[in-house]
Structure 1
Amino acid sequence: MILTLPEIILLSILAFCLLVQLYFVLFVHLKLANAAVEEIPFIARKPLSVIVCARNEIKNLSEYLPTLMTQNYPEYEVVVVNDRSWDGTEEFLEQMEKIYSNLKVVKILDNDKFLAGKKFAVTMGIKAAKYEWLVFTDADCTPGSDQWLMNMQQPEDENIEIVLGYSPYLKKRGLLNALIRFETFFTAVNYLSFALKGMPYMGVGRNMAYKKTLFFKNKGFAAHMHIPSGDDDLFVNANANRFNTAIRFHQDSHVWSQPNRTWSGYLKQKKRHFGAGKMYQAKHKFILSLQIIFQFLFYGFFVASMFLGRESPYIAGGILLLSIIIRSLIYPKLLKRLNYGDLRWWFPILDILLFLFLILNGFFAMFGPKKVNWK
């Protein structure tokens, strides 16, 4: 077998891209695959406050609020922030307050004097909360069991100030739903694995918790109040470290959420997240960019190798096959662990589709309309 110099260079770069890819697979994500699932505590140590922000969410609140109010936890309150709703949310919450004594409603009115948005609503909810430990979720979410709060409570270690949970999307029909769940899976694998590795960089507001004193000590969202999103990931990015952060991924601690039903809605959601990512710490942006860039290079050089010589396609195909085999030994186990076991059979196809979608989403985020809103 004789390879030309261009073939040697191209295949060497392809192999190097594989090595970088395998670093994240074997030395980061494998940590989560091998991590012991934590036991849910049998007792509640301290009271806590659950915070939910809602804007025109009467349908979701009607369906999911009762699951928050009936958790197996002895002392807690649920603070619902009604952010300028006009769909009957206010009247519904007034009725719920009569039924549940531990429900507290905070109402935000239209006011031209301040810039309203989710971060303002979250801040109002935190100010209204009477307990130190705050657990966050969204109006369109439902806990996987009545043990959710038991698992998301303040850990015994008082040095832990942030707990990162996991929130999968409900299964629906169609390619969009499969792609949304697969993308959510990889996002969760990444932030949970890096947290285990001692470098927490984000969390999701559908299922996370932190101390009230931490929020006010670091001036809440002041550093990024001008960005519509980031009440969850930017706060964690700025305040989490290897000593004050823990993760929870027990099946009973998952919080299920309604996925987007349209491509346009999903693209809009991802655009908000893309804008928040620009505010991450430099080291986090570097490591996350490294993942995407080398994945892009891997597929790019693989395609290029198909057009060089007779042997190059076979060698490149072997490198691709090795990548698929190694990842197929790890990610299906993680898919099952994170409640997406049905996707494991589609792993190689969804992996490529997700890569293509992320490129498309990045293009729209950079060159599309800049204005995005919470609701």
Structure 2
Amino acid sequence: MIVFQVLFYIFIVVIFVQLFFYAYAFSKVNQKNHGNTPTVKPFISVIVCAKNEANNLETFLPSILNQEYPNFEVVLINDSSTDTTLKVMERFKAKHSNIKIVNVKNIEAFWGNKKYALTLGIKAATHNHLLFTDADCKPVSNQWIKEMSNCFSTEHQIVLGYGAYAKVKNSFLNKLIRFETLMTAVQYFSYAKLGQPYMGVGRNLAYTKDLFFKARGFMDHMHIKSGDDDLFVNQIATAENTAICLSKNSFTESVSKKSYSEWIIQKRRHISTAKHYKAKHKAMLSLFYVSQFLFFALGITLISTLFNWEIVVGLIGLRYLVLFINLTLAAKKLEEKDLIPFFPVLEIFLILTQFSIFIKNLISKPNRWK
């Protein structure tokens, strides 16, 4: 009986931690965002790094080139591709004068390192304001550059955008991937609004060239194969220099992984990168994930033993009510409304997946990189 009483009190603490995140911290993404409306639009260099992405460039590059923005160039980085990526780039360049190609060849010191390729592309960029996306991404509108660039100001030299995944009908895996993407975005947008920006996604991210070189580029984590987006933001972002862009016209969209095993490989890489975040960021992320796990573990234990089950059920109901209110608002803002009815099931599957990835990464390091 004493053991269950202790577990019950721990459960109450866990509920309060969960309510703190869902009712307070994560609610920040639902607040109105006051974006800048500059009278002079900055010149923009859109940077796309591609490695064996010939087909994706054919499909998605036109959506970048057709942006309604007066002053922009597109820097295409061929990262030592072995397919026809370079030929596709050259074909587009022949038709568009605002394309610049950077052809990167592997060297021994930076063999297969995307950060090295990106550094060369950034150096080649004509303009100070840089906007990044991936070769398998497309802007959801022709106002993408305009909306993201509107968030730049004298103070704001980093802009965090939303990189969504295309919806696939009747696919639970697609919903799970998009739910994980939604949860990640809710966290990094909310923490940025709280003055603690800790990451961004390379599918939709902007910062200035001046800031990049002031931070010595990727040198502090060049030895880590991943993290050209989140580790760099974690290193340089502050409450003062970071803005977020939540305009629906600013989103990008990618094709999600088609198999669970491919997605797991991708997430293992992302999670292994997070261990290099600043200690305070690791602490706040860990607290949330641990409280999620304990919520289910303790809740199931207490209900199955009928220990104070009426109070336990009431606390569970309160937690889900707050979760649904704030995540529903966030899902509507980020155009993920179809996920709302599936929140409880998707949350359980995501927690189990994250736990399995954590165990796998403890046993062996993820060593498969693109």
Distance 1:276 1:156, change over 3 A: closer
Partner of 1:189: 186
The range that moved more, 49-58 or 169-178, is 169-178
How big is the alpha-carbon RMSD for the aligned residues of Structure 1 and Structure 2?
1.6
Task: Give distance in 2, aligned partners of 1:262 and 1:372.
Answer: 16
Residue 240 (structure 2) pairs with residue 243 (structure 1) = yes
Q: What is the deviation of 1:282?
A: 0.7
Q: Offset of 1:113 from its aligned partner?
A: 4.6
Work out the CA distance in 1 between the residues paired with 2:108 and 2:231.
26
Which residue, 337, 346, 349 being the options, matches 1:350? 346
2:36, 2:150 within 8 Å by CA — same for their partners in 1? no
Look up the match of 2:273.
Answer: 276
Task: Name 1:306's counterpart in structure 2.
Answer: 303
Q: CA deviation at 1:104?
A: 0.6
Between the aligned partners of 2:320 and 2:24, the Cα distance in structure 1 is 17
State the shift of 1:116 in Å: 2.7
CA drift of 1:44 comes to 5.1
Structure 2 residue corresponding to 1:140, chosen from 133, 136, 141: 136
Are 1:219 and 2:216 matched, yes or no?
A: yes
Q: Does 1:319 align with 2:315?
A: yes
Distance 2:33 2:216 in 1: 34
Q: 1:30 maps to what in 2?
A: 27
SS at match of 2:159: strand
Deviations 1:211-248 (A, max 9, x none): 10111111111111111110000000010000000000
In 2, Cα distance between equivalents of 1:23 and 1:186: 15
In the TM superposition, residue 41 of structure 1 has moved relative to its aligned partner by: 4.3
Contact 1:203 1:232 in 2 (8 A): yes
1:266 aligns with 2:263: yes
Q: Could you list the per-position Cα deviations for residues 251-275 of structure 1 after superposition, in whole angstroms to 9, with x for gaps in the alignment?
A: 0000111111111211111111112
Secondary structure of 1:168 counterpart = strand
Q: Which residue of 2 aligns with 1:203?
A: 200
Moved more, 213-222 or 298-307: 298-307
1:1-375 correspondence runs (5 A): 4-33=1-30, 35-38=31-34, 41=37, 45-153=41-149, 155=151, 157-173=153-169, 174-308=171-305, 310-373=306-369, 375=370
Contact preservation (8 Å) 1:77, 1:102: yes
TM-score computed with the length of structure 1 as normaliser: 0.94
SS where residue 164 of structure 2 aligns? coil
Percent identity, please: 40
Stretch deviating more after TM superposition (319-328 or 144-153): 319-328
The number of residues matched between the two structures is 369
Query: C-alpha displacement at 1:162, in angstroms?
Result: 0.5
Aligned-pair CA distance for 1:312: 3.0
Measure, in 1, the Cα distance between the counterparts of 2:236 and 2:265.
27
Letter paired with 2:28: K
The residue type equivalent to 1:319 in the other structure is L
CA drift at 1:154: 5.9
Gaps of 5+ in 2: none
Q: Quote the offset at 1:55 in angstroms.
A: 0.6
Whole-Å separation in 1 of the counterparts to 2:224 and 2:275:
10
**How much does 1:159 deviate?**
1.3
**Whole-angstrom CA distance in 2 between matches of 1:171 and 1:264:** 19
Q: Is the 8 A contact 1:44 1:150 kept in 2?
A: no
CA distance in 2, matches of 1:263, 1:345: 22
For 2:41 and 2:8, how far apart are their aligned partners in 1? 57
Runs of 5+ consecutive residues of structure 1 not aligned to the other structure: none
Amino acid at match of 2:284: I
Q: Which amino acid aligns with 1:145?
A: S
Letter in 1 for 2:86: E
Q: How much has 1:156 moved relative to structure 2?
A: 5.8
